[in-house]
Amino acid sequence: MSEPRRLRGHKATATCCTASRLRPGIVATAGEDGCVCWFDMRCKEAQLVLEVGQEPISSLCFMPGNEDIIYISSGSEVKCFDVNMATSQRLLQSYNYNKEEINQVACNSKSTFLASADDSGDVKIIDIHQHCLYKTLRAGHTSICSSVQFIPWRPWGVITGGLDSKLVMWDFSKGRPIKIVDFGVPEMKGSSMAQCFNPAFVHAIAVPDADMLDKSGNVCIVGRGDGALDVINIESELAATRSKCTTKAHKGSQSTSKGSITTPGTEGKRLHLDYTLGGHVAAVSCVAFSLFGERGKFIITGGNDKSVKVWECSRYLDVGQSVSNDNILHHNINLSKKVNWLCTTPTESENLVVCDTTKVVKVYSVS
- In order, the DSSP letters of 306-346 are SEEEEE--GGG-STT----TTTSEEEEEE-SS-EEEEEE-S
Question: Taking 50 as the threshold, does the pLDDT of residue 129 lie above it?
Answer: yes
pLDDT at 263: 44
pLDDT at 326: 62
**Paired sense of beta strands 157-162 and 145-150, if any:** antiparallel
Average pLDDT of the residues in 204-224: 92
Quick check: 78 and 59 in contact, CB under 8 A? no
Quick check: 18 and 61 in contact, CB under 8 A? yes
Q: What is the pLDDT of residues 231-241, one digit of tens each?
A: 999 999 988 87
3-state DSSP: the chain helix, strand, coil percent, rounded to 5? 10, 45, 45
Q: What is the mean pLDDT of the chain?
A: 89
pLDDT at 1: 67
Q: Specify the pTM.
A: 0.91
Structural domains of the chain, with CATH: 5-364 (2.130.10.10)
pLDDT at 214: 83
Q: What is the pLDDT of residues 95-121, one digit of tens each?
A: 999 999 999 999 999 999 999 999 999
Weakest-pLDDT range from 246-250, 259-263, 340-344: 259-263
* Separation CA 8–CA 228 (nearest Å): 32
Q: Given pLDDT bands bounded at 50, 70 and 90, which one contains residue 197?
A: low
Average pLDDT of the residues in 324-342: 89
Quick check: 234 and 168 in contact, CB under 8 A? no
- In which order are the strands placed within the sheet that holds 176-182? 145-150, 157-162, 166-171, 176-182, 260-262
**Paired sense of beta strands 77-84 and 46-51, if any:** unpaired
Quick check: 105 and 69 in contact, CB under 8 A? no
| Between 204 and 256, residue with greater pLDDT | 204
